[in-house]
Structure 1
Amino acid sequence: MGTTQELNGKALNSKLGLLEHGNGVSGPPKVLSLLSSVLERTIQKNERSLKASTKKDVVTIFHGSRAPAMTIRQYADRIFKYSTCSPSCFVVAYIYMDRFLQTTNAHLTSLNLHRLLITGVMLAAKFLDDEGYNNAHFAKVGGISTKEINELEMKFLFSIDFRLHVTLETFNKYCLELEEEATAKSRIGGSIPVSGSRHGRQNNDKFKRAPTIEGQSCTTV
């Protein structure tokens, strides 16, 4: 896969807010709200399906004992604000999460979403961006320990067989799904229908040392 600039230049339009980022536009990019909506719809569908079924979900180390108090959108905004990763990382993280769920046969639920998201974004930032923060910083942003995020990272990587490369065609396909979410929200006035998504490395020396996050806290997920 190419750099963030190459992906943005070839694939995307302003609906996701990827092109405007870094060009004087303030606030989080549109992709965060759209991705949060897609993930929320998927979780609602999966949890209803699991509740109605006698089949138990596959439990992984990404599962918590209870759902975090922080919403998906709040968590995504926090990751973006304090990781300073490119918006494209959230699309790539979405792809990585889909790969993980397909290979493990686990369902995306409120118990595993937050850990999957912070791990996916961290891996995407390492693979896609020219520079970024280390595991300890992402752990602090995600509200978990450095030891835990290291374990999550390795489990994630082995589960997807270290398949971090994403083709431009795949990237475009997931962007299209998010763009369709924007169209759906506009058509129905912001109400999101409940339906599922159609889709079913260690610290690097080049990553700069993480500063302390002042005045912000995140409940451990």
Structure 2
Amino acid sequence: MPMESPTTDAGDELESYSSLGLTVSHSQKNIAEFPKVLLLLSMYLDKTVKQNEELLDSSEIKESTTMFHGQRVPELSIKLYAERIFKYAQCSPSCFVLGLIYMERYLQQPNIYMTSFSVHRLLITSVIVAAKFIDDSFFNNAYYGKVGGISTREMNRLELDLLFSLDFRLKVNLETFRSYCLQLEKEALALVLERPIQVQATNGTKPSICKGSVDETCKHELVRERYSSQALQGCSW
């Protein structure tokens, strides 16, 4: 289900970049938590997977198995998996927006749908392709395989399959990137209104509702945020 392309202006796009965590002031770099884009992307992917699986269960659509389909559903949620990728792959937050664009381009093929069996592999492959395309530095596929919990051989195969499916057309114009940023926020806002996110208070009091307020606007756009390198923890599926 491809995203629609809303109209944008300079004020909206800068506010959207800041809200998603794509711009980070120098004073915030060392204390920044996971950028908001990870949460919004995860919510959107969860929604899409649920809709696709409902259609498949009702036999309204027919699905073709792809290289991205695993034998079982990973135990790690999409949100935690996205956070793991960001933490250990040390890619810029923009890679997740670009990765979403690649995912939706891939899913334009006939009878190809994203489900809980394929979403994790699609996500990490799209994000690392984006990182190799726009980031100044990146790791090899042996490392990314450990991050994603898959073998180096499979990581190589998934990357090649995605690249050939996209015909190696990785360039995304700025207007498309802007529209995806704004639409991510709109999609997530609709989900939050339907089902508010409850955050458990640390002092044992009643859980609070997370409304996702807009961050302070930064002067520079698309400043890439990196986390210091940390030892990998096991994650296989």
| TM-score using structure 1 length | 0.80
- Between structures 1 and 2, the one with greater helix share: 1
Q: Pick from 141, 144, 162: which aligns with 1:156?
A: 162
Distance 1:48 1:100 in 2: 21
SS in 1 for 2:235: coil
Distance 1:55 1:105 in 2: 8
The structural deviation recorded for 1:185 is 4.8
1:184 pairs with 2:190: yes
Distance 2:192 2:104 in 1: 26
Distance 2:194 2:25 in 1: 27
Specify the alignment match of 1:106 in structure 2: 112
1:87 pairs with 2:104: no
Q: In the superposition, relative to structure 1, how do residues 123 and 104 fare at CA in structure 2: closer, same or farther (>3 Å)? A: farther
Gaps of 5+ in 1: 1-8, 192-211
The letter for the 1-side match of 2:235 is C
| TM-score using structure 2 length | 0.75
Specify the alignment match of 2:20 in structure 1: 16
The letter for the 2-side match of 1:216 is Q
* Structure 1 segments of 4+ aligned residues over 4 angstroms from their partners: 9-12
Number of residue pairs aligned between Structure 1 and Structure 2:
192
The letter for the 2-side match of 1:156 is L
For residues 4-153 of structure 1, what are the structure 2 equivalents within 5 Å?
Answer: 12-20=16-24, 23-53=29-59, 55-153=61-159
SS in 2 for 1:85: coil
Larger Rg: 2
Select between 101-110 and 112-121 the one with higher mean Cα deviation.
101-110
What is the RMSD computed on CA atoms of the aligned residues? 2.1
Given that 2:55 and 2:61 are in contact with CA atoms closer than 8 Å, whether structure 1 keeps it comes out as no
Percent sequence identity is: 51
Distance 2:232 2:162 in 1: 31
